[in-house]
Amino acid sequence: MNARTIELLAPAKNVSCGIAAIDHGADAVYIGGPLFGARAAAANSLVDIERLVAYAHQFRARVYVALNTLLEDDELDVAVRLIHQLYSIGVDALIIQDVGLLEADLPPIPLHSSTQMNNRTVEKVRFWEEMGFTQVVLARELSLAQIRQIRDATTVPLEFFVHGALCVSYSGQCYISEVMAGRSANRGQCAQFCRHAFDLVDGQGTVLVKDRHLLSLKDLDLSNHLGALIDAGISSFKIEGRLKDVSYVKNVTAAYRLALDAIIDTRNDLLRASSGRCQFRFTPDPARSFSRGATTYFVHRRDKAMAEIRTPKSIGKRIGRVSTVDARSFTLAGDEAVHNGDGLCFFDRDNTLVGVRVNRVEGRTIFPKDGVARLRLSPGTEIFRNFDIQFNRVLEQSTLCRQLAVRMRLAEHAEGVQLTITDEDEIASTTTIETDKETAIKGETISSVAVRQLKKSGGTVFTVSDVSLDLSPGRFLPASVLNALRRKAFARHLEIRRASYPRQEKIRPRNDAPWVAATVAYTDNITNRNAAIFFLHHGVRQLHPELLRAGNVPECALMTTKYCIRFQLGLCSGAKIQKGRIAEPLFLTDKTGTYELCFDCSRCEMAVRNIEHHQQ
């Protein structure tokens, strides 16, 4: 059996985050380019991306650019020119959503099918494989059984989100920002409606739940299920977070690096997807970074409480309960240390999140910056930490924790000495330096001096595992010569590694493989002439332009979700609805409008529709 390569894929808001991700163990990073990324607030210049490419490639790590928005007709040519530029600077792949690009003149750069292409079925993934995609990002809602079914029917590498924020709607199938705010999530301008506070109202006008974040999901955490995902067929493990800061990237990437290595190192059928090993001076703990609480979503079974309806903000890590309260302080039970400057939080009697800034700590007694009176704390209250000042200071100092193992051989040369470096990928380089041939008179032997000086790799990406010498007896080399040779050799070896990087290219096939359906609708996200041509090429009989925009379709679903509010609130047990407890239909209301909830229990799905738009 051939060994399978396992990839850890980390997010990069900018080049600093990208370098941090590589340093902390990412086999690949995904980053937005100057235009057309699904996070409009995370754009990056070509110069910065080229710098990140050079840094990543020294570790045989890859850089994927997210060009995963839908394009208008007047943007197609701009997007194609950008793709050629990205290819020319060495980007390893593009993550795309718009099929119009498949009808354009693209360079042979590998393409990944974005999760926004709604990749939930065998038929869809098989189609993208036939279209020449080299990786497919599956929908987050899939179970292990569904992943196995797709893997058994296809060969294209499968990518799956394992950590981070969740969209409540199927990705690519959310139109609420577009219809209600004129900001298309499919064009990188999500207005975050799912994080709003809503009232839940029944058909008789009774308010069932008031002012709660009923569509706001917890954050995904599949760190304890990586082995099962590998066995189901996942080969790329993706961390969400292209808007997250560098501390989040370091911490979460390191945590998943250690978790994956613990699996890979015990199995002969798995390989790491890049080179170098990490050693961290901190203990990774994703709960110490941005976290709304954790859910496993649907990977094994439907999580019983996958939403955190009390707040869309970061709660962080639970650190204990209040034991006593006095006029100026409170005492915390538990073992987790608290420090001056920490940010704590808790839910008050009204289930509203309250923040606490720590001014001073004496043992387990905490003195809040703004006093205790306003907090209305009582014994037994759970306390969380959403800003860990000491942990963040440690993360700030965490750099160069990934190194490439090399062997060295120092030998005679006609004009001096030469140093041959061979790294863990068996890439070799030889560097020569001119020097006079001197004979040792007294003191240390050349062996001990040379080994000591050549093993000094601080400030580089290398760690020297072995030094061998092939020198004349009695030969002397000053430490200054050895140091100069080592620096020159390391620089040369990096150049050779980058030049020998095994770039992958992909020529996409031209075929007439039929689309997965005979017709298309607004949910197929056709926004330009090329996309329309693509679907016609692949068997769609006709397109009705007026029905291809969600805002033009009165009955459109603003969101289609696997998440169910009835299940979240305990109003549904499996397929059996708790009838008689509520008067359906149900509605969500907030300052933006009233939205009807439509339940399809045969598919275990929920749709959110705009009632005013529906009645027009």
The tens digit of pLDDT for each residue in 503-551 reads 999 999 989 999 999 999 999 999 999 999 999 999 998 888 888 889 8
How high is the pLDDT of residue 441?
60
Distances (CA, A) of 291 to 213, 225, 508: 16, 18, 40
> Treating both helix axes as pointing N-terminal to C-terminal, what angle do 246-264 and 389-396 enclose, rounded to 10 degrees?
80
Is there a single domain that holds both residue 382 and residue 438?
no
* Beta-strand relationship, 416-423 and 402-413: antiparallel
Enter the pTM of the model.
0.95
Chosen domain end from 467, 484, 499? 499
The amino acid at residue 326 is D
| Secondary structure in 3-state letters for 546-612 | HHCCHHHCCCCCCEEECCCHHHHCCCEECCEECCCCCCCCEEEEECCEEEEEEEECCCCEEEEEEHH
- With a cut of 70, list the residues of the chain below it in pLDDT: 1, 38, 40, 438-445, 573-581, 612-616
Q: What is the per-residue pLDDT for 396?
A: 96
* 244 domain residue, yes or no: yes
Query: For residue 362, is it within any domain?
Result: yes
Q: From 458, 477, 499, give the residue that closes a domain.
A: 499
Distance (Å) of CA 611 to CA 314, 555, 558 = 31, 9, 11
Does residue 411 share a domain with residue 383? no
Amino acid in the structure at residue 102: L
Half-sphere exposure of 461 (CA within 13 A, CB side): 24
pLDDT of residue 478: 87
**Could you identify the residue written with the tokens 């002969």?**
268
Q: What is the pLDDT of residue 544?
A: 84
For residue range 443-479, list pLDDT tens digits in order: 556 788 889 999 999 899 999 999 999 988 777 788 8
Distance CA 341, CA 308 (A): 26
User: Do both 275 and 341 map to the same domain?
Assistant: no
Q: Output the CA–CA distances (angstroms, integers) from residue 118 to 123, 360, 525, in the order listed.
A: 11, 50, 10
Residue written as token pair 């987790």: 336
Q: Are residues 363 and 411 in the same domain?
A: no
305 within a domain of the structure (yes/no): no
Q: Is residue 284 part of a domain?
A: yes
Cβ neighbours of residue 62 closer than 8 Å, sequence gap 6 or more: 27, 28, 29, 56, 92, 93, 273, 274
Say how far apart CA 311 and CA 214 lie, in whole Å: 9
- How far is 214 from 309, CA to CA, in rounded Å? 5
Q: What CA–CA distance (Å, rounded) separates 425 from 422? A: 8
Q: Are residues 365 and 407 in the same domain?
A: no
Are 444 and 341 members of one domain?
Answer: no
Helices (DSSP H) in 430-509: which residue ranges?
446-454, 479-499
* pLDDT value at residue 616: 40
Pair 340, 473 in one domain = no
Closest by CA to 24, choosing from 184, 192, 259, is: 259
Structural domain includes residue 66: yes
Q: Are 150 and 240 within one domain? A: yes
Q: Write down the pLDDT at residue 439.
A: 66
pLDDT of amino acid 546: 80
